[in-house]
């Protein structure tokens, strides 16, 4: 299994555990996830982070509980779908991010959308620059869908799909 961390910083030699910038409400016993950690994503879910850091997005994919009707309606023949606001498209086309490959042995699986954490410093094994982010989704089986607003997609959380929302505080009219 391969684990990655994405950043706009091309010069990270060591990842030091640090608390999240904006703490999230966590389930009882999981409050430690707001504390000092190094975060990584597995290769099956890396498409979730092929974005400029502050870009709001909604990502969906089927789970074993997803109804066939919803899978067909929302995904068609795609493994996943990625929704981004239209005004972010130029940045997806223009910006470069850096994918750091992390040594997997010290990471703990959160069993949540491919996320892993490490409680101590991590030295990355490799860094590659990725440009033209808009072209990175299809090879991973994820369809990039550009929308005027993410707000009409709030109802996705009431479906049987897995739905992840990242940086939604930056979306237009999200509230």
Is residue 96 situated within a structural domain? yes
Which pLDDT does position 29 carry in this prediction?
A: 80
Is residue 175 situated within a structural domain? no
Q: What tens digit of pLDDT does each residue of 54-88 get?
A: 999 999 999 999 999 999 999 999 999 999 999 99
Domain count, the chain: 1
**What whole-number distance in Å separates Cα of residue 175 and Cα of residue 161?**
22
Is residue 16 situated within a structural domain? yes
Look up the domain containing 14 and give its range: 3-170
Core vs surface per residue 11-41: b (16+ CB within 10 A) or e? eeeebeeeeeeeeeeeeeeeeebeeebbbbb
Closest C-alpha to 174, from 58, 24, 25, 34: 58
To the question of pTM greater than 0.85 for the whole model, the response is: yes
Is residue 112 situated within a structural domain? yes
Closest C-alpha to 171, from 11, 56, 44, 48: 56
Is residue 38 situated within a structural domain? yes
Is residue 153 situated within a structural domain? yes
Is residue 166 situated within a structural domain? yes
What is the mean pLDDT, run by run of 10 residues, along the chain of 175 residues? 95 92 79 84 94 94 94 96 96 95 93 90 96 95 96 95 92 84
Is residue 146 situated within a structural domain? yes
Which region holds residue 69: left if phi is over 0, alpha if psi is between -120 and 50, else beta? alpha
Between strands 115-118 and 108-109, the pairing is antiparallel
How is residue 18 annotated by DSSP? B
């Amino acid at each position: 299994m391969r684990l990655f961390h994405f950043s706009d910083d091309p010069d990270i030699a060591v990842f030091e555990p640090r608390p999240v910038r904006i703490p999230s409400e966590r389930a009882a016993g999981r409050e430690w996830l707001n504390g000092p950690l190094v975060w990584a994503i597995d290769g099956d879910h890396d498409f979730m982070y092929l974005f400029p850091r502050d870009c709001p997005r909604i990502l969906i994919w089927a789970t074993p509980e997803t109804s066939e009707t919803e899978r067909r309606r929302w995904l068609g023949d795609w493994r996943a779908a990625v929704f981004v606001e239209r005004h972010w498209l130029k940045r997806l086309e223009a910006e470069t991010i850096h994918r750091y490959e992390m040594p997997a042995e010290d990471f703990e699986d959160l069993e949540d959308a491919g996320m892993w954490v490490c409680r101590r410093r991590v030295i990355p094994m490799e860094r590659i620059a990725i440009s033209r982010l808009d072209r990175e989704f299809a090879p991973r089986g994820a369809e990039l869908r550009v929308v005027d607003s993410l707000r009409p997609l709030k109802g996705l959380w009431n479906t049987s799909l897995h739905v992840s929302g990242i940086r939604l505080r930056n979306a237009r009219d999200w509230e």
